[in-house]
Each structure stands twice: as C-alpha cells, then as structure tokens.
Structure 1
C-alpha cells in the first residue's frame, strides 16, 4: 500500500492524502504499434497505463512512438506534459513529474472485451490548456466495467509546448502552427483506431468526450478536417464550442501572443527566436504568467492555422460538421464558484463590491454596463456570489446554449443537460453548489487514485450518469431501462441527486440575453 498526494485537476484542485489502489499480477500481453505491453488487474478491470502512442520534439508534430524491445510493463502512468502547478501549490509538493516525453495513453478494459468488440470512449482532460494529465483521471474503472466500454485517456501537450504559433514554425511544417496539442489528440485518436481492436475494442465505434478545455478540444476535433471518421459520437461537458476564451482564434492572434511570450523569455529576435526557445529548459519556459491558470483570459489555445484547423467550431457546427455525430452538451449550474476560488480566494483575495465592478469592466469591457445592470449586487448574498454568477453564465451556460443552437442549426441531434447536484453542499464557503468540474467525480470512480466515496443519493446519481454516458456510447442515445427520459427536443435534462427531469427556460435561468454575440 502507498500514500500519494492527489492533484485531481478537472478544472479544480482536489488535494488529499489517501491510499492508492494496489495492482494484482500482470495480465496477458498485447502487441501494439511500437511493441508489446502487459497491464494489471485493478478495480475489477485490466489497466494498461503509460502506453506510448507518439513521440514529439519541441514545437513539432507528433511522430510514431519509438519502438521498444521485450514486453513493456504498462502498470504506471507516464510523466505529465510540462505545466506549472495550480493555485500556488509549492513545486516540492507535486506528485507528478514534468517531461516532454509524455505522449502516452491509459487504457481501462473490462473483462467482456475478451469476447466482444466493445464501444470505446476517449477522454480529453481539462485545465484551460495549461494544466492536466491522464494520471489525474485514475480511474474510470466503474464506468468501464458497468457500462461495458473501453476507456482511453491520452496525454496531450499544454501551454507553449502545445500551442506555440510563430511564422518560422509554420514555415518549417507546411503551415501548421499553434496546434501541436491538437495534433497530439488527433494522433491519439488514430492510435486508438489502429490498435484498440487488439484490446477488444471496436475502432469504428468511438465516443470522444471531455470536460472544460477537454470539451473545447472535442469541439476542435469536430471541426478539424483530419479528424473526420475517427469518432462517431461526442460529449461536451462545460467546455462550449462558442463564446469562450478557449475558442481557437486566427493564426495572427497566435503569432501576437507567442511573439510577446518569446520576448518575455529573452528570445525576441525573429532570426534566432525559434532556436532560442528550443534551447531553454522546461522550467524557464514555464516561468511565465501565461502558464498559470489564474484568470478567465487565456494565452494558450489552439489557433486556426488553416492546416490542422481551418474554421472555428461555431462555423463548423453550423455548416453540418456534427450532422452525423450525436452530441451531449451541458454545463453546471454554478460553474463560476470554482473560478472565484481559484482566481481570488487562492490568491488571498475576497471579492468586494469594488473588485467585482473592476473585474467585470476588465473581462467584459464591451458590455460592462449591461452586465452590472443585469447582476446588481443587491440580488446576491456577497460580491463573490455575483461574480460567480457572471462567470457561470458568460463562460459556460449561455455559451453551452449557443453551442447547442449552432449544432442543431447544422443538423445535429443534441441532448442538452444542466447539472445541479452539489457534491460539497450548498453552503460550503469556498465551493458550494454545482461548481465547475463537479460532475466529474460522478463519472470517475477514482481521481488521482483517490476513491470517490459516494453514498445514498449521490451514489445513485453516479450510477445514473455512468449509465447515461455509456449507453450513449453504445447506442447514440442516453436512454435506457431505469434511466430518466431525455429527449433532444429543445428542452434540457436537469440532473440532480433529488431527481432528473426535462425542463425548459434554460436561457432565462442564466440571463443569456446579455451574453449574445
């Protein structure tokens, strides 16, 4: 038995010391691209962890993984892709190792895969494109076992390592730039297509799902020409395809952001800039405000390079990119509470009336007066509550509603939800209500190896959501015996421990009139 510090980043920081699961004996050997691997029995399934799916030099497209000899023990996670620590956590407390040799996939395989071709679910983690790794999502074992699906969780590059955009990078790669993390995800999907059959999975029955930046990554893969046919269904959790700071901007914006960052690293001269950046150590490249998740504004996102990404997800959805891809799209009722905790409380600040108004004017300069009129402080218990409501509605709820509208305009079938369960209660002083990422522990049975100890109504809701997500992966519809009726008809499913039912009036609940385009 061993104790580990869990940093389960699903947009949040969930830290605690608990006992991690112990693997049993090694399992049968599976041959994949690169070599042979053996996994371990954990939580009633077989895990294959840290399986290399690609290798990549800095600021370059991923390439096939280097081959290995013998049987590789796939029983531990690979290092995480380089990233700063969230929320001011001291580096000495990190249980994870940064490495550019991080392009691995973790596989969770139920016993039934031995005799069936099972549906496959590929999960893309969140973290605002600067945080996250597959070892934080250990493990979806219960979802794999009870849902009869194989689940794959790949790593992808983050921050400047994943999204550096410079003219000289475009020149050396046929125009592709600012999309290395997106290419990693795409390479992982191709690896799944080519290798998952050896684990008992069906390469033609893949559901791509993700949360926060992982959900935005789902959006970008829907819009990416090179991803067509690599997945057949998609789930977008709290990471809308439109009206988000993570929406891919044009390449010129990427150049501006990356050139400013390069200058801050002491690499300002365009003639030597790329060689300079490639020569710097990882820690130096991470020593930048742009790699910290402490603001709703973003520097590092994919960019439309006109090669890997040729259009915005909004345009792609409206033009029918998901017409043959069933979608689940949703958000949480109190998303913004996490961001108040991260951006203010974690930095020793308690929002005041003055700071609330200042934040609104800084983040929403073009509509600040309308926002302040729509969210008067007199309506809320504290300025923090008002700020949380603004973040919830602007960044997530109304953007999710607009994403649903764009997808339906392009002919997609969309099942929309609003998650309202409060895993830490409704009066918690730091994280109350259905904050950002609070649905994740209802889908994963462990996060960072730490068991999720649901009981009673929460345990029942976890079973329900796992069944809905995996039923959707199997059938393209989230309905089945014992599950609440959920229809793709313009209403939304309100999901809560007290019960789940179809509702109307989503836009009114979140003041979406003020957040229009």
Structure 2
C-alpha cells in the first residue's frame, strides 16, 4: 500500500503540507508494561508507539512474539515506533521512519472523554503484500474516531522473511509453528487490545478487525487461526483475497520449499546450520536477496498452514464460526489492477503483448491458456488495460464474491461492496479509475502525515464511508441514520443466487445485481486455489 500513497502524492491529488504540530496535552493511561502518556491532536487523543511485544532480533528472529518488558516511569507515547524491516514495491520507496527488529508497537486513536464510555474498538491491519508497510503510514483516522465514536488501533507486524520464514528447524524449536510469525504478531496485538481496551474507554468484547490488501488477507487468516477465536466479533475485508489468490496461506511443504530457496540465496543453504546462519546475518542483508522482494511473480512470503497457528481452510473456519454468526463486510475496488500496472511502469516494465502473456503465465500456471482466451487483447484498449482487467476480476472482485457466497452459506450476515470512485478520474494515465488502495484516502483523514484535502461531494462521500465502517463496528450492521440503504445478502432459502453489491460512488451509491457478469466470475469459478 505504501507504493500507492507514493504514487498518489505524485499525481493529481493535491496534498497539503503536514499539519502544524498541536501542543501536546498529557493523557496518562496504565497499560500492560507500565504507564504511558498520550497527547491531544486533531480533536482526539493519540497514543503512539506502545510496545505490545518484545524486540524480535538475534535469537528471537523468526520466533513467536514474547511479552514486552515493562518500562520504568511514564513512557511518552508521542511518536510512532520503528517500522519492521521491509522491502518496497518501488525503486526508491518513501520511508515513514527508521526500521528496526524492535518494531512490534501499536498506535491508538481515541475519542476525547472516553474513559468510561465502553466504545467499540477497530483494529486495522495494514497492507503491503506481507513485505511492506507500517502503522505510521496510517497516522490519522481522526474523523472516523471523533465522529464515529470508535477507538482505532493499528499494530505493526513482522514482514517478509522476518514474519513468514518457514523451515523444519524453526518448526522443531517452536512446537510446529512455522511461517506464521507475522500472524502471531497480529494475535499478540489483538490480545493486547483485549487486555487494555478498557483503560482507554474501549469494550474488549466489541472488536472489529479490518484491513486492506494483505491486511485484508490477514483478517481472513484470523478466521483460520484457532488462537484468534474470541478476539474479534466483526470483520471488514477491503481488497484482499480470502480464497483463489496467491496471498492465501499455503501448505507447509510449499512454504518449506520457498524458504529453503531463499536461505540458499543469502548463503545459508546448509540445513544443519541454516537457522543459526539466518539469525546471524544483518537484517539489511536478509532483504538484499531478489527472493525477498514482492514482484509480480508468485510471492514467497505468505502465511503457512502450519497446523499449529493456522490450521483451517476458509470454508472450514467460517463453518466453525457460524455459531457466533460473525458479521462480515467484504469488497473490492472496480479497477484494482491499475495500481499493479503502474508499479510495473515505475519499475521500468512497459506493458505490451509479450509482457501481458508473461504475467498471465507466471501468475496462473496451468490455467493461463484459459485466461488468455477469456481476456483477448483485441477486446481492450491496450495490454495494460487487459492486464488490469485480469487482476481486478481474477484476484479481487470474483474472490470477494466467492467469500460472500461461503459466508452466506455458512450463516454469517454479509454485506458486499464495490468501491467505484475514481480519485484522479477514469482517464488518468497513471492511476485510472478506482485503483487498488484507492478507498483508503476516503477512510483516513491523513496518510503518511499528508492531510487528505477532500471538499464538497468528495468530502461528503468520505464521511459516508467512515459512517458505514463505524456504524458496523457499533452494531454489526453498516446501516444507520443518514446512510443510504445497504441490504445484507439474504440467507439461502432453497436457492443460491447472489445477493446485492453496493456500488460506492460520490455521485450516488446504488445497488448492483449483476456483479457476477460484470467481472466474468462464472469463468473464475473454475480457478484455484480454493479453500
């Protein structure tokens, strides 16, 4: 997602300069580990950089998170903690701060005067393909917090090889857990929220988890992780695939193979000494291997179904959770693929007929010939447009529909949407239409310390999106006063037709009943991997 923010800053959206600092007003709270001091800004109270787990370097690298050591006195929670070590999507990604293996911190954004208000808590998992991103990028959900009367918590979690290394030696020392350290970090953050929410005026029994891209994939993964049961009660899945996607958890054997290839690439190929070798290398050296990067190739760093932390497939997980009837919002953007095409351009790869075929073949394997036949280049204005359509339909829109069907069939209340607001217009040559991550500036009032300058209908639309999300956190239903109706999918009653999809636009949101046909989902029903 960081690359999306970088690209936004260089296009038609006119970001203002960073807001002038607001005089800090101490707001002291006692949490696990000790006392912290927050500060008032933007009409809310912020508590930044709170450790929820111990440093993860040295012998702790790749291991399960441990409790954060207590601190003496009052800790100033006035600045974001370091980012976790990471690579970027772009040749020179914009950093929001230093990186460190002491990165497991959480930021909290709290309405003023909430100490005894028992408010919903919304925990946001950032995106970035499991290789990139941090909580410091999402530094102002201020209006969502102030007007929606919710607490928003945003944790860091380990990324790339640090979060998803999967080796037999690692499994042997950790009771079988492997390839899931990043998910365990998120679980540790959720436990921290459960243990500390009431200190901020939050209700630990009313937690919504939401995320975008890999953050949405993380939300899905918590359905499949038994230790996450009971730590959340509602979910919002934004542009992240729970099924039929390269980012869904892989089987243990494939995870071992990918991590072994990576270890060999950094000079740690001997299985007898592999783990010690990897732990001894400097963090920066672990990120130099091309295998550490997220590119258009099938990703190396995704969670593993290790049988300990992640034990279930999505269909099994939703069926098991059906007794709790977890409400679900799931959706996609109407031109998700535009961002990924733009990233290829930024990396010097100009889409043409050959590169389109190459992308399809490395992404879809044995299914590639069918994809090429279903998306012929002569149907599109350019190879870039064809590639964008394949990505949008195959990796986002139809997987969202697939998840809605599973959720409906297993008894969950589900609301599906398609975000269709083009921040830069449909004809923008770099990021046309509602591209991947394009909904985030309508939910957050600042990204990477850059205020979002919406006015008029765009500002009203942003408030509406924030209202849908926060109303859902309060009640488990996005419908509320002042919002256009958004019907849930009907429960199956002897038939299995799809439910309505809310098309979200600043000019007027409306229900769609032909989402399946618009995105060629009948074709993509045959594509795996499936849950």
Note whether the superposition's TM-score is higher than 0.5. Answer: yes
Aligned equivalent of 1:298:
299
- Please show how residues 44-123 of structure 1 align to structure 2 within 5 Å: 44-55=43-54, 56=56, 57-89=60-92, 94-123=95-124
Structure 2 distance, partners of 1:403, 1:486, is 18
Aligned equivalent of 2:339:
338
**Alignment partner of 2:318: what SS?**
helix
Query: Larger deviation: 155-164 or 285-294?
Result: 285-294
Aligned equivalent of 2:492:
none
Query: Larger deviation: 362-371 or 250-259?
Result: 362-371
Query: Larger deviation: 322-331 or 386-395?
Result: 322-331
Please say if residues 157 and 163 of structure 2, whose CA atoms lie closer than 8 Å, have aligned partners that are also in contact: yes
Q: Deviations over 1:7-61 (max 9, x none)?
A: 9456875446832451322322111111110011111100000000111321111
Q: Give the C-alpha shift of residue 380 in structure 1.
A: 1.3
Aligned equivalent of 2:247:
246
Choose from 478, 501, 508 the match for 2:510: 501
Q: Give the C-alpha shift of residue 129 in structure 1.
A: 0.2
Structure 2 distance, partners of 1:316, 1:296, is 28
Aligned equivalent of 1:362:
362
Aligned equivalent of 1:478:
478
Structure 1 distance, partners of 2:374, 2:525, is 13
Please say if residues 127 and 214 of structure 2, whose CA atoms lie closer than 8 Å, have aligned partners that are also in contact: yes
Q: 1:66 to 1:170 in 2, by over 3 A?
A: same
Structure 1 distance, partners of 2:472, 2:95, is 36
Runs of at least 5 residues in structure 1 that lack an aligned partner in the other structure: 1-6
Q: 1:238 to 1:171 in 2, by over 3 A?
A: same
Aligned equivalent of 2:25:
26
Q: Deviations over 1:136-174 (max 9, x none)?
A: 001101100000000000000000000101111111111
Please say if residues 115 and 199 of structure 2, whose CA atoms lie closer than 8 Å, have aligned partners that are also in contact: no
Q: Give the C-alpha shift of residue 356 in structure 1.
A: 1.5
Aligned equivalent of 1:127:
128
- Please show how residues 485-496 of structure 1 align to structure 2 within 5 Å: 485-489=485-489, 490-496=499-505
Q: Deviations over 1:216-241 (max 9, x none)?
A: 10001122111111011000000021
Q: Deviations over 1:233-291 (max 9, x none)?
A: 00000002101111001111111111110111100111110100000001100012233
- Please show how residues 9-408 of structure 1 align to structure 2 within 5 Å: 13-15=7-9, 18-55=17-54, 56=56, 57-89=60-92, 94-295=95-296, 297-320=298-321, 323-342=324-343, 344-408=344-408
Structure 1 distance, partners of 2:458, 2:180, is 39
**Alignment partner of 1:30: what SS?**
strand
Q: How many residues align?
A: 508
Aligned equivalent of 1:3:
none
Please say if residues 80 and 96 of structure 1, whose CA atoms lie closer than 8 Å, have aligned partners that are also in contact: yes
Structure 2 distance, partners of 1:239, 1:414, is 16
Q: Give the C-alpha shift of residue 421 in structure 1.
A: 0.4
Q: TM-score scaled to structure 2, two decimals? A: 0.93
**Alignment partner of 1:177: what SS?**
coil
Q: Give the C-alpha shift of residue 452 in structure 1.
A: 0.4
Structure 1 distance, partners of 2:86, 2:45, is 29
Q: TM-score scaled to structure 1, two decimals? A: 0.95
Structure 2 distance, partners of 1:83, 1:237, is 22
Q: 1:322 to 1:486 in 2, by over 3 A?
A: farther
Q: Give the C-alpha shift of residue 292 in structure 1.
A: 2.0
**Alignment partner of 1:188: what SS?**
helix
Q: CA RMSD in A?
A: 1.6
Please say if residues 9 and 126 of structure 1, whose CA atoms lie closer than 8 Å, have aligned partners that are also in contact: no
Q: Deviations over 1:185-237 (max 9, x none)?
A: 00000000001100110100100000000001000112211111101100000
Aligned equivalent of 1:514:
523
**Alignment partner of 2:467: what SS?**
helix
Please say if residues 24 and 41 of structure 2, whose CA atoms lie closer than 8 Å, have aligned partners that are also in contact: no
Structure 1 distance, partners of 2:258, 2:145, is 40
Please say if residues 222 and 321 of structure 1, whose CA atoms lie closer than 8 Å, have aligned partners that are also in contact: no
Please say if residues 125 and 213 of structure 1, whose CA atoms lie closer than 8 Å, have aligned partners that are also in contact: yes
Q: Deviations over 1:381-431 (max 9, x none)?
A: 111011100011111001111111111121111000011000111111010
Query: Larger deviation: 229-238 or 309-318?
Result: 309-318
Q: Give the C-alpha shift of residue 357 in structure 1.
A: 2.1
**Alignment partner of 2:365: what SS?**
coil
Structure 2 distance, partners of 1:124, 1:173, is 25
Q: Once superposed, which parts of structure 1, at least 4 consecutive aligned residues long, lie more than 3 Å away?
A: 7-17, 318-323
